[in-house]
Amino acid sequence: MAIEETNLKKAVLWDTEVDQKVRCKLCNWRCVIDEGKLGRCQVRKNMGGVLYSLTYNKVCSANSDPIEKKPLFHFQPGSRSFSIATMGCNFRCEFCQNWQISQVALEEGRINGQPITPEYIVEAAVRNGCKSMAYTYTEPTVFMELCNDCGSLAKKRGLANVFVSNGFMTTEAIDFASGWLDGINVDLKAFSEDYYERLCKAKLQPVLDTISYIAKQTNIWLEITTLLVPGQNDSDDELKELAGFIVNNAGADVPWHISRFHPQYKYLDSIPTPIDSLERAYEIGISAGLHYVYLGNVPGSKAESTYCYQCGRMLIERIGYKIATNSIKDSKCPDCGTQIAGFEL
């Protein structure tokens, strides 16, 4: 089935090449696209030597979510974030939980969605009492044009903007968004090129470069998530390397979310992540020197909550995506006065 080409938006971040080819500079595939062809994400097309986004007017998901669902635990805690997505992705993760919207453009040549203007989207966020806009569910890098227009309007209305991303964007894309992007959760899926190649049809090193760049060269608040897949990325050695990378390249204050895996999409011949594996990963993160380590998809775990890394006091008690108590005062621990990362923003 051919992708409908109506109401197209001229793309951002691309260069012209010879013979009407274009080079996309949004993500680290840096696709060189022949005239009439699509990029790897399947949602950007070269038409007559001009690159267009095929999804700008096709919003496939819009919801008001807790910011903790992103997950972002040190960014506007307890608030709601108006979350939007369009179809498409530049990864091919075999366990994708949102494959119905991320992979359909590739598998069926189909892009579904509604033409919702940025003005209407931002107004909906304000009307729903949200404090931020989130570009999520699929990879926001590949619908950067909509993110940019919404993000700029959101800032004017006093809203923050956050990405939930696989981290494969270029430095040019990060710089392009830095004027309106306030926070990001980057998926660091594993710490081996083999894992990325086999299970995601992607590469690790550009993700590591993105994390380092955001942490060292921007003011964008950063949190990191790793989905722990049994037998794939859960060895002690790999987790120690991963946690060490975060400490040394992003900083001890960057929160690390370790999420429980449940079989999804094409990756069904596996058990869910054992709780003891998650708890072991948690201890590895703490031992590596990370100040804030969390367990995700484990409702009721104490590791959902925020503790002072100096005195051990529970500062924010979470139950699922809900905050039960928040005792942080002036962005500090009320007992020992330690600054709690992110809360000074």
User: Domain with 210 in it: what CATH number?
Assistant: 3.20.20.70
Higher pLDDT pick, 41 / 3: 41
Interval 18-37 mean pLDDT: 98
pLDDT above 70 as % of the chain = 98
pLDDT at 110 over 60: yes
> CB–CB of 308/338 below 8 Å?
yes
Mean pLDDT of 296-321: 96
Mean pLDDT of 233-240: 98
pLDDT tens, residue by residue, 208-217: 999 999 999 9
Q: Give yes or no for residue 4 having a pLDDT over 70.
A: no
DSSP 222-274: EEEEEEE-TTTS--HHHHHHHHHHIIIII-TTS-EEEEE---BTTB-SSPPPP
Summary mean pLDDT of the chain: 96
- Residue 108: the pLDDT is 85
Same domain, 261 and 299: yes
pLDDT at 111 over 60: yes
Which strand ranges, in their side-by-side order, compose the sheet holding 306-307? 306-307, 314-319, 322-326
Tell me: do 213 and 237 sit in the same domain.
yes
Inside any domain, residue 103: no
Mean pLDDT throughout 107-117?
A: 92
In this structure, the answer to whether residues 215 and 296 fall within a common structural domain is yes
pLDDT at 1 over 50: no
Q: What value does the mean pLDDT take over residues 306-333? A: 96
Backbone angles phi, psi at 161, to 5 degrees: -135, 135
Same domain, 328 and 248: no
pLDDT of 58 over the 90 cut: yes
Would you tell me the crossing angle of helices 118-127 and 144-156 to the nearest 10 degrees?
Answer: 50
Q: What does the pLDDT average to over 291-299?
A: 96
343: pLDDT confidence band, cut at 50, 70 and 90?
confident
User: Is the same domain home to 291 and 331?
Assistant: no
Q: Which has more pLDDT, 144 or 320?
A: 144
Specify the pLDDT at position 2. Answer: 47
Q: Same domain for 293 and 203?
A: yes
Judge if 195 and 280 occupy the same domain: yes
Question: Are 254 and 224 contacting, i.e. CB atoms less than 8 angstroms apart?
Answer: yes
Cα–Cα distance, 335 to 327 (Å, whole number) = 10
pLDDT of residue 193: 98
Question: What is the count of structural domains for the chain?
Answer: 3
- Band of the pLDDT at 238, cuts 50, 70, 90? very high
Question: Domain range for residue 16?
Answer: 9-53
Residue 338 and residue 244 share a domain: no
Instruction: State the average pLDDT over residues 149-174.
Output: 98
Q: Judge if 297 and 311 occupy the same domain.
A: no
278 and 325 fall within a common domain: no
**Nearest-angstrom CA–CA distance, 96 and 92:** 8
